[in-house]
Structure 1
Amino acid sequence: MTTEPLATAGTVIVRPALVGDADAMARVFVDSFRAGHRGQVPENVLQSRTYESSAAAWRRDLTAPSPGEYISVATIGGEVVGLAMVGPPHPWADDDTARGEVPTAECWALYVDPSRQREGIGRLLIGDFSRHLAGQGIRRLLVGVLTANAPARAFYESLGAALIGSRLNLDEGQTFPESVYAWPDLPTKVLD
């Protein structure tokens, strides 16, 4: 895996994540998850995300990635301020026909440090992994978003994603409604 920057905009550099990024990725993930989902999920779900467990999970994923998985980070001045993870789509019968016709991937995670949101970092991460996926022959992208997360839904809609259905997301033994969005063509030009 190369460590060369794949995308830049101003002082933001997007590159493949490295095992050494795991602690910083955990900070971004936990802080963003808790800030973004407060009031949308019970407190025990928010508190189940810890820096320690998240860092261990990122180290595991970066050491032994699953087939088709791609993890990247956005940095400013060498500090990780955002992360993204994509891979094969989660099983979902409602989408079997479409994914059987068009090579499809799913965005599993997209998190930006709460203090750096609305600066275009999420857009850069999406553009980066979309270009990566296109290079792998993937032409379609899905993302599942908690239905209660209106800001995230608006963000994906602003980038051209279309709502294609809903499913349930199991987290900490509880189920939450999730809205599923798709780009029929990868959003490789989200900065245009």
Structure 2
Amino acid sequence: MNIRKATVEDAKGMARVHVDCWRSAYEGILPSDLLNNLSYKDREQRWIKNIPLSTSGGSMTFVVENEEGKIVGFALGGTMRDARLRMKYTGELYGLYVHPNNQQKGFGKKLFESVVHHLVSLHHSSIALWTFKGHHSCSFYNHLGGEKVYDKKTTIGGTELTEWAYGWDDLSSFPINIDQLN
């Protein structure tokens, strides 16, 4: 397993992970036509445009490669964007995706820790994230010590959903590996 800062050259691999994760994880949650219309090419173009923005100014995107050097996941985080959560949580995990064929192997936990380490290096002491109510990621975030702290309604593709915010009030419980901060 190799975790490193994402580069524009990673866009194709990240797009594959992103689309496959959405299609797998959100089946039955998001409208089928929305999931069916996701395209690797479109996501790749978005990542080519967004990676430079998501690896600067306090934000960071990490990719994880398997033993063969193939990107199997990514995570990104930075300063809290949501005004409702900003008073208590200064950092935010914007997204964490591990390809469905590579879940339950520790990649997600290591990506999460990499984002936490980055945010701690920027003097953030707490973080939060959003996920969908009842989504399988809820148990993952519970396992990592997150607590449900807020919920909100959102509409995606004409479907009303409930999002849950999970928060970590004290990032000092995550051991910091000095090598990951460099």
The TM-score, its normalising length taken from structure 2, stands at 0.87
Q: Which runs of 4+ in 1 moved over 6 A?
A: none
Counting matched residue pairs gives 173
Paired with 2:80 and 2:159, the residues of 1 have a C-alpha distance of 21
Match of 1:53 in 2: 42
State whether structure 2 residue 30 is matched by structure 1 residue 41: yes
2:164 partner letter: S
State whether structure 2 residue 60 is matched by structure 1 residue 70: yes
Match of 2:12 in 1: 23
- SS at structure 2 position matched to 1:142: strand
- Show CA shifts across 1:33-83 (max 9, x none): 110111111112212432112111111111333632110000012100010
Which one of the candidate residues 93, 97, 100 is aligned to 1:107?
93
Which one of the candidate residues 78, 83, 88 is aligned to 1:87?
78
Range that drifts further, 163-172 or 28-37: 163-172
Paired with 1:27 and 1:115, the residues of 2 have a C-alpha distance of 12
Q: Which runs of 5+ in 1 are unaligned?
A: 1-11
Q: What does 1:79-158 align with in structure 2 at a 5 Å threshold?
A: 79-93=70-84, 95-99=85-89, 104-149=90-135, 151-158=136-143
47 and 141 in structure 1: CA distance in 2 versus 1, 3 angstrom threshold:
same
Paired with 1:169 and 1:56, the residues of 2 have a C-alpha distance of 26
The TM-score, its normalising length taken from structure 1, stands at 0.83
- SS at structure 1 position matched to 2:87: helix
129 and 48 in structure 1: CA distance in 2 versus 1, 3 angstrom threshold:
same
Q: Would the aligned equivalents of 1:128 and 1:188 in 2 still touch at CA under 8 Å? A: no
Deviation at 1:164, TM superposition (A): 0.3
Task: Give the CA RMSD over aligned residues.
Answer: 1.9
Paired with 1:57 and 1:15, the residues of 2 have a C-alpha distance of 20
